[in-house]
Each structure stands twice: as structure tokens, then as C-alpha cells.
Chain A
Amino acid sequence: MSSADATADAARRPFTGRRVRFGDLVLQLVAGAAALGATVLVGLIAWELVHGARPALSKYGLGFVTRIAWNPVLGHELYGAGSFIFGTAITSAFALLLAAPLALGAALFLTELSPQVIKAPVTALVETLAAVPSVLIGLWGIYVLGPILRDHVEPALHSTLGFIPIFGEPGAGSSIFTAIVVLAIMILPIVASISRELFLGVPHELKEGALALGTTRWEMVRGVVFPYARGGIAAALILGLGRAMGEAIAVTQVIGGGVFIHWSIFDGGDTLASKIAASYQGATSQLFSSSLIYLGLILLVMSLLANIAAQWIVRRVARKHGVTRGGHA
């Protein structure tokens, strides 16, 4: 913790030896209870999910995680998360691959190249993309994006890169590919806005020093900005990945559905989140619903891991660069 933190804290409590009033105690207790509740909430969420998944947990154990099956036929019920974990991994990873260069490029534009006049409006617009509800992006994906991809992009990709198995025969409008594009659109603003703040935090002296040495702007970015912001960019990417993994509605609208893992991304499939959203209302047995909750539990673990990793990186980078919590460059 930096010295600025310590001073601020001391200033908040200037009379450490003073008499504690009853009102102080009450407020501290009530507020503390709220804070405690919020803290406990995450653990409670995990606990309740374990509780809800119990029938499936006791029946399948950890084998559920790797099994590729989803058979709701009564009498032959068999459930497994394998294909959905794969679907989540593939869609999120490819979405990040698609969105990251665009997001970083936009962030660079906003910090280095943009004329002052349009800086604020463009920033606002890029970040507003994050506010568009996922159900609308999904609706748009079904009726606008899907047909465009199916009729123009997929045949083009198949004819030029068809020798690579992931670019198979063009399918219906709803496919893993459409889901990847939709997810990329959704995580673009998050990665862009975090990166933008990171790039703004790079000390001017470092950047100007590089330019004074005769570098071009791009060389300065490559040599100063990126290395300095490296940790933060990693955190931004991981946060974007976590967001993509957790998206249920837009994905279930455009992904087409399917239990088996196909090579081609133009086929349908499902992710953990999209399977839950699609099947929950129609669950026909307790084993079915608890298996869906088990999927939710796996999703929670995956997104918690991504989130904790990102937050840890953010805090480590902030400490390294001497930024106090709540301060912005």
C-alpha cells in the first residue's frame, strides 16, 4: 500500500482515541453487515449451485465434466458437460481472437491518434456498444447477421480455406461461427475501454522520451506503451474472455444447438450457458434439471477463475505502477 493510501486513511479517522458514539456503532454494524452480506454472496452462490446440482453430482461425479453426451430420453437418461465445455472454450477463444486486435486498435486510436474534438464522443459511442442488451444482439444475429454470414461469408471462407477442417460446408444461419461473431461484438467494448484507460496511464515522460529518440509513433507504442500496459492488457483480455464465456442469451439465439462436437465451425453446437438457457424450461426430470445446474456450476468455476486471475493481475500492475485505488490518470 502506498503512502498516499495511508495518509488518506489517517485523515478519515483523525481522532482515533475519541469516544465511540452509539450511533457510530450502529452505522458501522449495519453497513458492515451489508458489506459482509455482499462478500458472503459469492460463496453462497457457489453453495446453492452445488446444492441444486446434488442429484447429478452424486450420480455422475466428476466424470460428468468430460463425458460427451446429452440424452434426455426417459429411461435412457445420460448427461455430460464435455461438448458444452468445448463449445464454451471454442466460442470464447475465437471471439477474443477476433475482438482483441479491433479493441486494441480502437483504444490506440483514442489515446494516440484521435483529434481532440471527436475523442469524447467516439469514446462514449464505443463504450455504449457495451450497453446494448444481449437479447437484441441475438435478435439481430438471427435475422440480419446470420443470413449474411450464411449466404456470403461462409461460402467464401469454405471455398478459399475449405482445406482446413474448421471451415466446412456452409450451414444454416445459426452456427458456432455466428455465435463467435456475436460474442466478439459483445466483448469488443469491454476490452477497448479497459485498454484505453491503460494506455492513458502510461507516463508521458516515457512516451515523449521515446519519441525524442526519433522513433515513429508506432515504434513508440510497440516499445513503450505495450510493454508498460502489458499486464493490464492481459487482464482486459481475460475479463473479455470471462464475459464471453458467461453469455447465454445471445449465444443460444444464434448458435443452432447440438450435442456432438463437429470440426466445422459452420455447424451448430452449444456452450454451457446457451445449453442452460435453451433447456431449462423444458426439463422433464429432476436429473435433467440438476444436470443443467451442474453445467451452471462448471460455468461459475470457469468464470470465477478468469475473473480472479484478471483482478489479481490488475491489482499487481496497479501496485507496480503506484496507482492508488479509485484514482484515474
Chain B
Amino acid sequence: MSAHDLTGPNLRLDRLPRRRRVNRLMEVLAWLSASVAIAILGILVFSVARRGWSELNLGLLTKAPIPFSLTNAPQGLANAFAGSLVIVGIAALMALPIGILVAVYLNEFAPPSIRNGIGLVIDILAGVPAIVIGIFVFVLLVVGSGQNALKGSVALGILMLPFVARATIEVLTLVPNSLREASLGLGIPQWRTTLSIVLPRAIGGIVTGTVLAVARVAGETAPLLFTSSLVGPQINWNPLQPLQTIPVAIFELSESPDPKDHARAWAAGFVLLLFILFASLTSRWLATRNARRIAGR
């Protein structure tokens, strides 16, 4: 269908009422589509909140689970919250420096052909399914030596890497070249220019990208099934052992026949959802604010 179709017989005035009706129909459908998309989000958040409300208390975060409890002693998912903190935290510590280095190389040093080539590979890495990354880390690190939280962090770190790298490249691009030129003109070597002038300018965008990446992996279940799922109910902070995580806990609880387990799953899911929504929306707001600041000044 090309622009030619916009002339001649298709634009007949006598067909105008019909054409207007079709137009109106399409507008209504477009409104409906957007409403459906938002409605789905609303229904999801509402469902999770409503069902998790009954179990949502401080005990969820502070008390350990009691599997096969014969009494009605209060229990929670403290081991999962602790483990998630450790695993996601270490994953961010792994992905951040590597992502920044990759972005620095691509934007400050690489000739355009390499930049496009490696950029393409990074985009492809972003599309590898999380479960495949899980199998990869499993075969590479877990087979023969067992699970632990660090290996889970490696898997999550790989998932985060493209996000951090892409966000950093975009913000490095926004740093005006005049800044680099001025610094080089003053005799400052390129490495020092990059580290003490360009990067600090880009910190806002890097933080934004990291927050977005953290939001992305905080809810990932599949890679952790392979690397950190043989866990106990005790609250454990040791990264050299497999630790329970919130998404894996929700996954396991969702398959239980006990309605109380389901309520705990909804409650933990609600907390997770709030965290992720907050992180996503905040980073989005920060991004627009930073973009203006970095390029402008």
C-alpha cells in the first residue's frame, strides 16, 4: 500500500460519510485498545493487592517459613527477602562495572564498524531467554560443584548487562563532544577525560539504567531455579550457599494445595510488584530529567 492510494477514486467526496464512519470506528478501536492495555495492568495490580492483603504484615518480612506446620504459628518469607537482597545486590555489583566498561569502549574508543557490530551482539544477548541463561550458568558453574547464591547472581548479572550497557551508551552519547574536546585541548589524556569528566556527567543515566536493570531481574525466576533453589527455610545471608528468593518462593507456593500458602504468595508478590513498579517509574522519571540536564546545561 503506497501513497498513491491516497488520491483519486479513494478520496471521493460522495463516499465521505462512509469514510468518516470508518475513521470513527478505527478511532474507537484505538481508544479501546489503549484502555484494554491499561485495564489489564490495573486488574493485575488490583488482584494481587486484594489477595495478598490478608497476609501482608511485617511478619512476612521478618519470620521464616515453617514447612508442614502442624500448629498455626505465624510464618513469613524472611528467607526469600534476605536471599533476594543478597543475590540481586551482588548481581548489580557484577553487571555495573562490566556494563560501564563495555559502553565506554563502544562510545569512546571503538571505530564505528566495531561499535555497530558489538552493539548488535549486545542487543541479541538481551533477547536470549532467561531460562537459557539459567541452563548456561548451570552447565558452566553448577554441574559438579553445586548451587550457591553467587552463581545465581552471575545468571542475573548476565541478564542485567545489556540493560546497563545500553543505558550507559545512550547517556554517554548525550554528553556533548565539546566537553571532550575542551578537556583534550587542555592536554588531559583521553583516559582521564573519560573517567573524571565524561563518566561523572553520565552518572545519572547510569544509575537510571541500573535501577531499571534491577527492576527487570528482581522478578526473574527461571535462572534461579537452576542456581539457587535447593534451599532451607532458615534465614541465611551467606552467598556461598543457595539462598531462597522471592520469585522462586512465589513459584513454589503457587503450586501448593494450601490456601494459606497462596495468600503468602500473593502478599510477597504484592511487595515485589510495588518495588518493581516504583523502581521502573522512578527510573523513567529520572531518565527524562537527566537527559535534559546532561545535554543542556
- On whether A and B touch (CB less than 8 Å), the answer reads yes
Give min CB distance, A259 to chain B, whole Å.
19
Chain B 201-230 interface residues, beta-carbon cutoff 8 Å to A: 215-216, 218-222, 225-226, 229
Q: Which bracket fits the contact residues of B?
A: 35 or more
Kindly report which residue of chain B lies nearest to residue A99, judged by CB atoms: B37
- A246 sits at the interface (CB 8 A): yes
Q: Is the CB of A189 within 8 A of B37?
A: yes
Q: Is the CB of B280 within 8 A of A213?
A: no
Q: Is the CB of A218 within 8 A of B26?
A: yes
Q: Is the CB of A128 within 8 A of B277?
A: yes
- A296 sits at the interface (CB 8 A): yes
- A132 sits at the interface (CB 8 A): yes
| Contact among B41, B98, B116, B120 with A37 in the assembled complex (CB-CB below 8 Å) | B98
Q: Is the CB of A223 within 8 A of B276?
A: no
Kindly report which residue of chain A lies nearest to residue B106, judged by CB atoms: A35
Q: Is the CB of A34 within 8 A of B30?
A: no
In the complex, the number of residue pairs spanning A and B with C-beta atoms less than 8 Å apart equals: 312
A293 to B20, CA, bound (A): 56
- B237 sits at the interface (CB 8 A): no
Q: Mark B25-68, 1 if CB is under 8 A from A, else 0.
A: 01101111110111011001001100100000000000000000
A112 to B27, CA, bound (A): 9
Give min CB distance, A80 to chain B, whole Å.
18
Q: Is the CB of A296 within 8 A of B161?
A: no
- B1 sits at the interface (CB 8 A): yes
Chain B 226-251 interface residues, beta-carbon cutoff 8 Å to A: 226, 229, 247, 250-251
- B22 sits at the interface (CB 8 A): yes
A277 to B121, CA, bound (A): 26
Q: Mark B1-19, 1 if CB is under 8 A from A, else 0.
A: 1110111001100000001
- A15 sits at the interface (CB 8 A): yes
Q: Is the CB of A24 within 8 A of B190?
A: yes
A selection of 17 A-B contacts at a CB cut-off of 8 Å is A31-B105, A34-B98, A42-B128, A49-B136, A103-B37, A106-B34, A106-B36, A125-B41, A133-B219, A136-B250, A137-B44, A139-B266, A219-B19, A222-B1, A245-B129, A249-B222, A273-B129
Of all A-B residue pairs in the complex, the 5 with the closest CB atoms, nearest first, are A133-B219, A246-B129, A105-B33, A31-B105, A34-B101
